Structures are given as C-alpha cells and as structure tokens.
Amino acid sequence: MKDKFDFLRKIFSCENSDLLLKAYKSLSNEGLEVYIEVNEGEFIVVSENTISDATTLYVPAADWSFSKDVLTKEGLSEYITEYVIPSHIQAEIDKTEEILLKKRKTVYIETLIVFVLFVIYIIFTMVTH
C-alpha cells in the first residue's frame, strides 16, 4: 500500500488543530490536493471533517514547492517540513543532473564555436571588401 502513495511528501506538521486547519484551507483554496495519513501507509484526501485527527499534512511531490510558497505567505513557514527525497530516487536524480550538465557543457562549446566562426566571417568580409 505504501507504493501507491509514494508520490506524497510531508509539507506541514503541527499539533495545533487551528493552524493545521488554516494550512489546509490555504492549500485547498489554491486548488491543491491535501492528504493525511490515517493508518500506517494509508492516506486520504483531507476534508474539514477529517482534519481534526491529523497532525501532519501531505501534498503530491510535484506541488511541494508551490505549497511551501503558499504556506510561507500565510505566515506558517515555521511548521513547514523539509522536502525529503527517497534514497532510491536520489540516485536517479544524480544521474540525470550529470547528463544535463554534460549536455549544457556541449551546448556552451557549440555556441562558442558558432560565435567565433561568426566573428571570423565578419573580419574576413571587412578585409576583403
């Protein structure tokens, strides 16, 4: 069951139910799905009726950064939890970053070559005319 909800990340943790409700309303007003953990590894979408038992809110990983901005604007930044990347995903991220850095380096070199050739062309046309 845990794999089914592997896309969720903890965004907010607080014992105060009023602050938790404020965070939930802020996130849901922005159109974000907010989840709570009901049993070990089982999550449900939060409603105002179910939030009273919770102490932690979860959002999809893709929405975590936006959710952080929303909660920061609401003045709830001290309760925002750190984004935790699972270790099996971190290895894939590192590989992807390495590939992107190699591609970026290649693009910079190609751009430099095109620029140098353009400058040589300009100088050549100025000298021959």
Residue 6 in this model has a pLDDT that exceeds 80: no
| Alpha carbon distances (Å) from 123 to 42, 83, 111 | 69, 53, 18
Tokens of 15: 């014992």
Pick the more confident residue, 6 or 127.
Answer: 127
Q: Does domain 2-79 have CATH number 2.60.40?
A: no
Residue 118 in this model has a pLDDT that exceeds 60: yes
Q: What pLDDT does residue 1 have?
A: 41
pTM of the entire structure?
0.62
Q: What pLDDT does residue 3 have?
A: 62
Residue 40 in this model has a pLDDT that exceeds 70: yes
For residue 51, what is the DSSP state?
G
Residue 2 in this model has a pLDDT that exceeds 70: no
The full set of domain ranges for the chain reads 2-79, 85-129
